[in-house]
Amino acid sequence: MRQSPSGGAARGAAATDSGLKSIGTVLNVLRDEFPEVTVSKIRFLESEGLVEPRRTPSGYRKFSTDDVERLALVLRMQRDHYLPLKVIREYLDAMERGEAVHLPAVGRQRDGAAVPTPAEAPTGARIGRAELLAAAGIEEGELREWESYGLLTPLADGAYGTESVTVASLVSELGRFGIEPRHLRVMKAAADREAGLVDQVVAPLKRHRNPQTRAHAEARAKELAELTVRLHTVLVQAALGVRLP
């Protein structure tokens, strides 16, 4: 059983803590700092071994304070340092061994050499091509291949949305299981169709002259996006026969 890298109480003690939280409660706690986090995201991080909540006899997840701190740390590494999960796992393992670690401002090490940190870390919703390569730990050829399948698309000026780091990391992780980029075209097509459906719903609000109504359209789009992602996740897991607590 993993221990929290923050050096909290032993997991055995946490297991008996009456303050164990359900996944819904954890979601509400994390959303104060990470408004985009979802239940699906927490489950994904668990499936990757980055957090190990207890399970009740009926199979429900229960998270200790250490678990929540660990999740927050993982999310910060993704958000602030653009690290892929395999690199985050290496940092967490080092922390558990009591080793001092120094997180890069952006990116990771490649082939034993430090990737230069840009003079100014990417902010807002944009990241440069070199920064994307460094953050995702991929090569130029891989990025070109993924672009050819529409999995990643640069903006007009050649930059990328920061969500591209997450996309690249997930494509890379799926590759470990033999799922090639060409196999993911069906996922991209499904995502585009789902986005089109959401856009149809909010389009009238987005065209409204009232700024408050347009702002409401953005909030509604985020809400609908989360619902579609949750539904997609449940449908896929149900099709695979994966039990959902």
**Whole-angstrom distance, CA of residue 235 vs CA of residue 139:** 33
61-62 and 54-55 strand pairing: antiparallel
Indicate the pTM of the whole model. 0.48
**What string of pLDDT tens digits covers the 245 residues of the chain?**
454 454 444 444 434 445 899 999 999 999 989 888 888 889 888 988 899 999 998 889 999 999 999 999 999 888 887 777 777 888 888 888 888 777 765 433 444 443 433 333 333 457 888 888 877 778 899 999 999 999 999 988 888 887 888 888 888 888 888 899 899 988 888 888 988 888 888 888 777 777 787 778 888 888 888 888 888 888 888 888 876 55
Q: Using CA atoms in the order 121, 173, 226, 215, what is the torsion angle rounded to 10 degrees?
A: 20
Q: Who's near 150: CB < 8 A, 6+ residues apart?
A: 185, 188
